[in-house]
Amino acid sequence: MNFSKKIQWLIVIAFVLFMFYKPILGFLLIGSLLLFYVIKYCFFFNNINKNGKETTGKILSYETEYEGHKTPLVEFEINKKKIIKKLIIIPQLI
């Protein structure tokens, strides 16, 4: 992941430099970076759908976030181990 951050900064610097020299190359760099992340996260979500474990949880309480949004604190069990986490909702792609 650290290597990825270095590449991102290189692309951003190249984008800024190319915007003054040849703007089309700058936009091509940003477009290719966005395409890379779309493909990367498609594989990530596909892996979760194939290999993820489904379980049920119990809402223990709600935590108030910014602007009054409430985030549930959920307790669930995986492999006979109880875990308490804040729920992060990821919208379905389909």
pLDDT band at 43 (very low <50, low <70, confident <90, very high): very high
Rounded CA separation 44/60 (Å): 29
- Residue pLDDT, tens place only, 13-34: 888 888 888 888 888 888 888 8
Give the number of other CB atoms < 10 A from CB of residue 14.
Answer: 14
Taking CA atoms, 24 is separated from 77, 78, 92, in Å, by 51, 50, 34
Q: Is the pLDDT of residue 2 over 70?
A: no
Residue spans per domain, the chain: 2-51, 57-86
The pLDDT assigned to 39 comes to 93
State percent of the chain over pLDDT 90: 7
